[in-house]
Structure 1
Amino acid sequence: MAHTVSGSMAFGTPAAPLRPYVLGYRGYRLTLHQPRRRLEVPTDVVTLALGFEGSLRLVDAVDPAPAASFGSVAAGLRRTATIAEHSGVLHGLAVSLTPQGAFRVFGPLAGDLGGQWAEAGEVLGRRLRTLSARLADAPTWPARFALLDSYFAARLADGPGWDPSVTWAWHQLRRSHGLVPVRTLVEGSGWSRRRLELRFREHLGLAPKQAATILRLQRTLAVLARSSGGPGPGAAAAGPDDERLDGARIATLCGYYDQSHLDRAFRAMVGCSPRAFLASRETAAALPEPTDRIDGRVTSAVLSPGG
């Protein structure tokens, strides 16, 4: 297992057999002089954050209902962005899981996580206390990542798998960046539209059309990041012809009717304009920790403490 340690952050690559299900580990030990606020955009990743010190305050960036605070949190696929804030002191680690991995690890509870945050103990139960204690006592980040490898290897070996038709439909959505029509998924799966939506909700927590909007947003974010020349892994989802495109061309490439449609859809999911999001990422480029949580995806922007 590869790992890197840089200042207050550490990154681990799961053992090879885990990688179809576990995308990566990220350890952090932050001691800042002021609160830190991050805008976390919708992604096709389920996150498990295990806290050793400090807590996270989470609120929806689009429809700011009362915030919720968590020591450790499981976050399913969400259609709208999240604002995550901490006091400046935070110690713990985060695990990024594919939706398939989350289903194998959490079981049917994975579907219940769609659009939700939950205290991690409600999802992992008694196992969480034992795991968290062992992780906190481990002497180094590599030792913690090795413990996580062992834990997830055991859970994945015994966990339930996806229905093959859901696997096929999800692959079609990801391959097309969310642009394949739902009727094509219905025809290919052999199910009715209602049946397909029910099975998707059981496995991912979202209907196919909702999952498609997340994948389309991720493609849009990657192309925007590459076209702006700013920080981010735009090359992961954007080809060499995507550089320095204007707004109309980006809209067409990513499946929107026009630039106005793109802007409206972006605001509805992220809570700000594409221009404001990219400006926040430019500001964050000088910070010591990486802007994005997951390699190969545009996931985040760092916000001003009072912004």
Structure 2
Amino acid sequence: MRSAGYKHAVFEVVPPSRPSRSRGVSMAGFHDHGPVPKAMRAIPHPAVTLALDFGPGRIVADDATGRRRGSLVAGLAFEDLRVSGRDVEVVQVRLSPVVAYSVLGASPADLQGAVVALDDLWGRDAERILERLSEARSWQDRFALTDDVLARRREAERPGRSVPPEVARAWDRIMRSCGRIQVETLAAEVGWSRKRLWSRFRSHIGLTPHRAAKLVRFHHAAHRLAAGHSPALAAAESGYYDQSHLHRNVQAFTGVTPVTLADEPFLAVDDIAWPGHAPPVTRTDRQ
């Protein structure tokens, strides 16, 4: 368990003691110990986000479509999402889009980057799970409970919810290459035409292969910026043509400049919450 401060807010960040038994699933616990001075910008990342909000407070999530309180699901490449709250306790789960449909009951393509209430997807099951989380005695117990629930949902997967192996392989290659792979190369590797890969990938993942690669590359660059690297260096490390190319991509995903992005609190705790999932970002001036 570690704490990370941002202005007047202090977050308790807890990673699980062991990885999930389900491939493509990672989780972390968050508990704020002070009011967030203003809504924080959520930074897009290459995963579908499930937030299980079981504490006395409630998450407040605002985007272009309105405001939601409590447990939620955010699709890939969400836009202008702001999060606030007080005395909030959350188990946050990041789901690879390859497994998201079998776990959530809604595919990344159905979500289309939107933020939806968990009740809308799971109905009364959501209430029962949150009640059990609130009764658990420790964070590790909550992680074990969450992992069990997600595994059982995957085991009960119905026909039509699985991602074709070619699409799963293409997503894995995009992730392993940090977004530096051409669509033509992906199509050749999975044995499909470029047109077929484009169509099937989008129908299952919710993004085209090209936009998925841009999202993964942005994710890598954002962590380089948060680690204190200059925009020019972060651009070179992340495979951009130049600093201007990075600037355009950052603005497209967040609406802010690379310099502003570097100080976003959501990035400041990523290497504590998700060790090994992205380049380290923790800096001594944020402790």
Provide the TM-score with structure 1 as the length reference. Answer: 0.75
Aligned residue pairs: how many?
Answer: 269
2:15 is paired with a residue whose SS is: strand
Q: Distance in 1 between matches of 2:110 and 2:238?
A: 29
Of 42, 45, 48 in structure 1, the residue corresponding to residue 47 of structure 2 is: 45
- 1:10 partnered with 2:8: no
1:57 Cα deviation after fit? 3.0
**Aligned 8 A contact 1:104 1:156 in 2:** yes
The residue number in structure 1 matching 2:98 is 100
Q: Distance in 2 between matches of 1:249 and 1:91?
A: 36
Q: Distance in 2 between matches of 1:110 and 1:184?
A: 24
**Aligned 8 A contact 1:40 1:300 in 2:** no
Aligned AA for 1:276?
T
The residue number in structure 2 matching 1:278 is 262
C-alpha spacing 1:36/1:80, structure 2 compared with 1 (3 Å): same
**Aligned 8 A contact 2:48 2:73 in 1:** yes
Of 258, 265, 282 in structure 1, the residue corresponding to residue 242 of structure 2 is: 258
The residue number in structure 2 matching 1:21 is 24
Q: Distance in 2 between matches of 1:127 and 1:183?
A: 43
Q: Distance in 1 between matches of 2:29 and 2:153?
A: 19
1:35 Cα deviation after fit? 4.0
Q: Distance in 2 between matches of 1:134 and 1:157?
A: 20
- 1:294 partnered with 2:281: no
The residue number in structure 2 matching 1:75 is 74
Q: Distance in 2 between matches of 1:271 and 1:299?
A: 23
Deviations 1:81-123 (A, max 9, x none): 522122x232332222222231321244343123111111122
Aligned AA for 2:16?
G
What root-mean-square deviation, in Å, do the aligned CA atoms of Structure 1 and Structure 2 show?
3.1
C-alpha spacing 1:148/1:274, structure 2 compared with 1 (3 Å): same
Q: Distance in 1 between matches of 2:171 and 2:122?
A: 25
**Aligned 8 A contact 1:14 1:22 in 2:** no
- 1:269 partnered with 2:253: yes
Aligned AA for 2:243?
Q
C-alpha spacing 1:138/1:254, structure 2 compared with 1 (3 Å): closer
The residue number in structure 2 matching 1:240 is none
Aligned AA for 1:56?
I
C-alpha spacing 1:13/1:45, structure 2 compared with 1 (3 Å): farther
1:89 is paired with a residue whose SS is: coil
Q: Determine what percentage of the aligned residue pairs are the same residue.
A: 31
C-alpha spacing 1:76/1:190, structure 2 compared with 1 (3 Å): same
The residue number in structure 2 matching 1:199 is 200
1:281 Cα deviation after fit? 5.2
Provide the TM-score with structure 2 as the length reference. Answer: 0.80
1:214 Cα deviation after fit? 0.8
Q: Give the stretch that moved more between structures: 136-145 or 38-47.
A: 136-145
Q: Distance in 1 between matches of 2:51 and 2:222?
A: 24
The residue number in structure 2 matching 1:55 is 58
The residue number in structure 2 matching 1:238 is none
1:162 is paired with a residue whose SS is: coil
In structure 1, list runs of 5 or more residues that go unmatched. Answer: 229-243, 302-307
